[in-house]
Amino acid sequence: QERVLIHQTTETCRRRSRSGYEEHQHHRRGRVNSENIHNQQENKDSVKVMKWGLLLLSCTFNLIGLTGGPLLLRLYFLHGGNRKWLSSLLQVAGFPILIIPLIILYRQRDPGQPSVKFFASRKLLLYAALIGLAQGVDRFMYCYGLSFLPVSNSSLLVATQLVFTAFISFIWVKQKFTPYSINAIVVIIMGVILLGIRRAGDRPRGVTNSQYLLGFFISIADASITGFILVSTQVAYAKANQAMTYPIVLQFQVCLSFFATVCCTIGCLINNDFSAIRREASEFDLGMKRYYIVLVSIMIV
C-alpha cells in the first residue's frame, strides 16, 4: 500500500509538473505570437508611411519640373538661345541624380529578399530603351515648338496629350471613354481652336506668322508622341510580369532617360550644338555667367 501510495503521489507530481510546463509554454507561445503580430503591424505601418512619403516626393518633383522647366526653357530661347537639340539634351541628362535614391533603397531592402525582386527584368529595360529613344525625339519637338510659342500657349497645346492618350488607350488597350474624359477632351480641343484663331495676338515679338504656325503644329505632334509614350509605358509595366515596386520604376526611368540622352546627344553632334555653346554664351542677352546658370538649372529641374 505504501508503494502504491508513493507511486500515485509521484504520478500526481509528474502530471502537475507536466501541466505547469505546458501552461508555461502556452503562455510563452502566446507572448511570442503577440510580439510577432505587433512587429508585423509596425512593419506594415512603416511601409505605408514610406509609400506615401515616396508618392509625395514624386508629386513634388513633378510639380517643380512641370512648372519650372518650361519657364527656364522659354527664358533660354527668349534671350538668345537657339539650340534645340542642346535644350532637349538638358531636359533628360539629369537622370543620374535618380541613382542616389536607388542606392539608398538597395541598402535598406530586406536582406531576406532575393535581389531578383529588386532589379528590373531585361524585358522591361528593353521596353524602357525603346521608349527612351522616342522620348528623345519628343523632347526635341517640344523644344522646337516652345522656341516659337509663349509658355501658356505651349502648355495648353502639350495638354492635348490627354486627347491622344485617351484615343490611343481606346485603340490599343480597349480603355473605355468616361463622361469625365470626354468632357476634358472637348474642353482642350476648344482651347486649341481658340489659340489657332487668336494666333496674331499671342505671337511673341520677332516670331513670324509661319514660325508661330510651325511651332503650333509641332507642339501638337509632340503631344501625340507624349500620349503614345504614356500608353506604351503602362503596357510595358503590364507585360513585365513582375511587381512594379518603387525601385523598379526608378530603374525603368533611369534606363529610359539614358537612351533619351543618347538620342539627344547624337542630335547635338550632328547639329554641332556643343561647338556652338561658347559663341552662344557670349551673345546671350543676360551674360555668359547667367547663360551657364540657365543651362544647369534646366538640367536640374
Tens digit of each residue's pLDDT (9 = 90 or more) over 245-261: 888 989 999 999 999 99
Say how many domains are in the chain.
1
Residue 53 lies in a domain: no
Residue 14 lies in a domain: no
Residue 45 lies in a domain: no
Residue 6 lies in a domain: no
The span from the CA of 28 to the CA of 37, in Å, is 14
What stretches in the chain show pLDDT beneath 50? 4-5
pLDDT number for residue 5: 45
- Residue 137, domain extent: 72-300
Q: Given CA atoms 159, 246, 260, 238 in this order, what sign does their dihedral have?
A: negative
Residue 55 lies in a domain: no
Residue 222 lies in a domain: yes
- Residue 226 has φ and ψ, to the nearest 5°, of -60, -45
The span from the CA of 226 to the CA of 238, in Å, is 19
pLDDT number for residue 3: 52
pLDDT number for residue 4: 44
pLDDT number for residue 282: 92
**Cell triple for 21:** 510546463
Residue 1 lies in a domain: no
pLDDT number for residue 151: 82
